[in-house]
Amino acid sequence: MDTHDVSDVPEYFKYLQTHKKNLKNAQALKGRPAKSPKSKDEILMQFMVRKMMAARTPANPMNIRSSILPPAYPPCHTPFSKLSKVMIKSMCLETHHRGRYLLIRTVTQADTMTAVMAIVEDEDGSVLMLQLFNQEQELSNAHSLREGTVLVVREPYVKVMADGDYGIRVDHLSDVWFIPEFDDLVPLSWRKRVTQSDESASSWKVKGSEHFNQGDYRSAIICYSKALDTHPSQELAVIAQLNRSLSFLRSYRFDAALKDVENVLQVSELSEKGLFRKAQALYQLRRFKESCEIHAILAEKYPDNTQAAHEYSRASARLMEQDSGKYEFRKMILEAKKRRPPMLDRGTYIGPVTVKQTQSHGRGLFTTEAVKAGDLLLCEKAFAHAFHDKDSSQDLRLLLNVDMDKATIGTQAELIELITQKLHKNPSLIPDFVDLHHGTYKSVDVLEMDGIPVVDTFLVERIILLNGFGCPLSSRESHIGYMKEDDNTANKVNMQFHSSGVWSLASYINHSCLSNARRSFIGDIMIVRASRDLPSNTEITFWYKSPMSRDPKEGPVNLQHWGFKCDCLLCQETRSAGSSVLSNRNRISADLQRLFKTSKMNLRKIEDRISNLAGTYSRPASEVPHLTLESPYLSLAAIYASSRKLEKSVEFGLKALESLGFVIKGGNPPYVSNAPLIVKKWGLMNDDVVGCWMILCLAYRELVPTLASQAEGYARVSYKICVGEDETFDKTYSRLSDRADGFLTTAK
Ligand SMILES: C[S@@+](CC[C@H](N)C(=O)[O-])C[C@H]1O[C@@H](n2cnc3c(N)ncnc32)[C@H](O)[C@@H]1O
């Protein structure tokens, strides 16, 4: 939704086809020996050269870094005890060595190119390239994958890479294990020193603390675990668990941190550090209520702990947002502008909505009580958010999925990394995430193996493909960009963004072109508001693709990406209208655009052409919106407002809204004194609606002042629906602006 899908753009389409061909050629080598004919020295030299080249040359003709997903394959889900060792010399190309494992060690420093890469050797001294995908970038830093690191690759997959060389490709995080030097699996010849088998718990603890102080949390965790396995005294066990919990917190492993402190609290119920770290782990897992409960104990027992007091107020603020749906939106907008990445620390508010089964399109989100247009339905923090900063030199990435024939530009590849890592580190989050819609993709039904969480990278990718959203830095910013554009082209309404994310609850919202809700963004927070009045138990829908983004002659909006065809009334009307009506609409629309651009505009002719266009619709707009009419009506309303023909401005302003399906009473002459302006039915909500209400507001100010503030009220609600909040409305629109729609061209 709103991501840069470039699958059909000729240059990317060609690039995708080239990769499919490479893949086919590679697969023709399936079964050939994986051992490279090159010598170890040649392979090492080549690695260094590749590293230098990668730093200098763009990755593809489009100067965008590309990530290519191979055909999907499941993660290893066989217990390690049932795997047998394989050597490089016995491995084959383009083969998943099921039931086998490979023991290797790195013989180069790792480097991050398209993946974390290093040259590895096995016990025979045979070498190959290793490519670890979806790992943290820090893996290639000094602490982690340094030369000599021993690894186990479970069920290794050897691929022919794009340049024809061979490499072990690991896509699933649980398929690679980093083996500590003292582990029994490590051959004696690979050990730098002989580890004392009688090393004491306290010396492991000391080593753990040394690693911790150097910021090497992975090694610290290994040493504290070793201390705990080495029969520590109860006192030492508590210290090792407390220390390990802090290392877990620092490495974003909140489930494990929580488990450690819970063990500590069983022995020492009121441990200050134990309670504090528990409250922190719960906060990070977004369990704010439980975090506050622990903080309440801390506050009572340790009133002088100022850090805990500070964290208590933070957790209370999140809980308040979560329970009340009250946010300081203006502050959030300022924060999103400043923070990089624009991740906002806020609670998720779930309004009067619930997930239920629909009749024909899987699960959907429904109202649990009647709501009004503009009401807040959801204010959801992203499960994961990948930001592209257009003002920085950050690379854009092209993600090629050969299984799905998809090419997207933006941050989708990064999002896969973020989500696989988050789930791998916090397995308590896996069940809800993998329950999101994933089409026909079948994954393995295993959540854990050998005590390690199993996360299927290809499942994550499919979930992102079907549930992810492209998003602006803030919808206010994109609204302002939209209003500043003069040209009302499809590009203007077809917004696509490089930043992207997944919002779990919003993922249950189905599409309808006749949507009744709209999403907006502030940083990584998605806001969903009702765009019309809705009775209880109504299915909430928003656009995956805006029906206004399509070319009128193209027919219904193309939702092939999500595997369905929309059956809303708008799509039905478009299908039944037939190609001659659609091309007639298209022709008149193009003619109108031309007439609006002529220097001496002939308004009578324009009005005539608009009437012709209106004549192509057989059903009233209150039933099926007349989308092609909105823009010309709105342009006329603005032109007449500027030339002070206010009655005409009102006439066309109302028509613009009616073309979107609005039913409005009391807006047209004859005006009855004190009769209200009433929206009987809300229509489709696009960004133009705000400006249209403002044009009406400004015209009514002179014609019927009592209606002006009501029109402005509707402008404010429409703004809130489009932008997510109305705290910045006055900064963006003013009755005193010199523009016909009140938009402040200076708005920032
Ligand atoms: C983001 S998910 C929406 C939630 C999904 N229905 C579920 O059960 O989890 C997107 C998927 O929902 C289904 N869907 C959404 N809108 C639909 C519609 N108007 N008609 C049919 N299927 C729809 C499609 O299968 C689509 O790929």
pLDDT 10s digits, 118-168:
999 999 999 999 999 999 877 766 567 889 999 999 999 999 987 788 999
SS3 271: coil
Nearest CA to ligand 1 atom 9: 437
Mean pLDDT of the chain: 92
Q: Is the CB of 512 under 6 A from ligand 1?
A: yes
pLDDT band at 282 (very low <50, low <70, confident <90, very high): very high
Nearest CA to ligand 1 atom 22: 361
Contacts of 280 (CB under 8 A, 6+ apart): 249, 257, 291, 311
The mean pLDDT value for 175-202 works out to: 85
Q: Is the CB of 363 under 6 A from ligand 1?
A: yes
Strand-strand pairing, 510-511 and 539-542: parallel
CA atoms within 13 A on the CB side of 281: 27
Q: Is the CB of 191 under 6 A from ligand 1?
A: no
Q: Is the CB of 362 under 6 A from ligand 1?
A: yes
Q: Which atom of ligand 1 is nearest to the CA of 467?
A: 1
Nearest CA to ligand 1 atom 26: 562
Query: If you measure from the C-alpha of residue 444 to the centroid of ligand 1, how many angstroms do you get, rounded to a whole number?
Result: 23
Q: Which of 361, 432, 435, 508 to mutate to test the pocket of ligand 1 (most atoms within 8 A of CB)?
A: 361
Residue 409's φ and ψ, nearest 5 degrees, are -110, 135
Greater pLDDT, 52 or 464: 464
Q: Which atom of ligand 1 is nearest to the CA of 436?
A: 9
Q: Is the CB of 511 under 6 A from ligand 1?
A: yes
ipTM: 1.00
Q: Which atom of ligand 1 is nearest to the CA of 562?
A: 27
Query: If you measure from the C-alpha of residue 360 to the centroid of ligand 1, how many angstroms do you get, rounded to a whole number?
Result: 9
**Closest of 508, 575, 493 to residue 542, by C-alpha:** 508
Please report the pLDDT score of residue 490 as a whole number: 42
Query: If you measure from the C-alpha of residue 358 to the centroid of ligand 1, how many angstroms do you get, rounded to a whole number?
Result: 10
pLDDT in tens, 469-520: 999 999 999 999 999 876 554 444 457 899 999 999 999 999 999 999 999 9
CA distances from 126 to 120, 123, 173, 191, 192 (A): 8, 8, 24, 18, 20
- Residue listed under structure tokens 């939106």: 329
CA angle 400, 404, 410 (to 5 degrees): 35
Nearest CA to ligand 1 atom 13: 361
Q: Is the CB of 566 under 6 A from ligand 1?
A: yes
Q: Is the CB of 437 under 6 A from ligand 1?
A: yes
CA distances from 625 to 202, 277, 293, 662 (A): 74, 55, 51, 9
Cβ–Cβ < 8 Å for 529, 506: no
Contacts of 37 (CB under 8 A, 6+ apart): none
pLDDT band at 56 (very low <50, low <70, confident <90, very high): low
Greater pLDDT, 280 or 738: 280
pLDDT band at 217 (very low <50, low <70, confident <90, very high): very high
Query: If you measure from the C-alpha of residue 356 to the centroid of ligand 1, how many angstroms do you get, rounded to a whole number?
Result: 12
Please tell me the least confidently modeled range out of 262-276, 288-302, 547-561.
Answer: 547-561
Cβ–Cβ < 8 Å for 139, 179: no
SS3 700: helix
Contacts of 476 (CB under 8 A, 6+ apart): 333, 522, 723, 724, 725, 728, 732
Q: Which of 436, 466, 562 to mutate to test the pocket of ligand 1 (most atoms within 8 A of CB)?
A: 562
CA distance 64 to 409: 9
Strand-strand pairing, 65-69 and 397-401: parallel
The mean pLDDT value for 178-196 works out to: 84
Strand-strand pairing, 363-367 and 539-542: antiparallel
Q: Which of 437, 513, 516, 540 to mutate to test the pocket of ligand 1 (most atoms within 8 A of CB)?
A: 437
CA atoms within 13 A on the CB side of 65: 17
% residues pLDDT > 70 (the chain): 95
**What single-letter amino acid sits at 503?**
W
Please report the pLDDT score of residue 491 as a whole number: 45
Q: Is the CB of 562 under 6 A from ligand 1?
A: yes
Please report the pLDDT score of residue 63 as a whole number: 62
CA angle 198, 201, 203 (to 5 degrees): 85
Please report the pLDDT score of residue 194 as a whole number: 56
Query: If you measure from the C-alpha of residue 411 to the centroid of ligand 1, how many angstroms do you get, rounded to a whole number?
Result: 23
Q: Which residues of 182-199 are buried (b: 16+ CB within 10 A; e: fewer)?
A: beeebeeebeeeeeeeee
3-state secondary structure 556-587: CCCCHHHCCCCCCHHHHHHHHHHHHHHHHHHH
Please report the pLDDT score of residue 158 as a whole number: 96
Q: Which atom of ligand 1 is nearest to the CA of 362?
A: 8
**Hey, what are 562's tokens?**
């999500």
pLDDT band at 738 (very low <50, low <70, confident <90, very high): confident
Q: Is the CB of 515 under 6 A from ligand 1?
A: no
CA distance 408 to 396: 10
**Closest of 310, 382, 378 to residue 345, by C-alpha:** 382
User: Is a pLDDT exceeding 60 seen at residue 100?
Assistant: yes
**What single-letter amino acid sits at 747?**
A
pLDDT in tens, 542-596: 999 999 876 666 678 889 889 999 999 999 998 898 889 999 999 999 999 999 9
Please report the pLDDT score of residue 482 as a whole number: 92
CA distance 382 to 572: 34
Q: Is 63 left (phi over 0), alpha (psi -120 to 50) or beta?
A: left
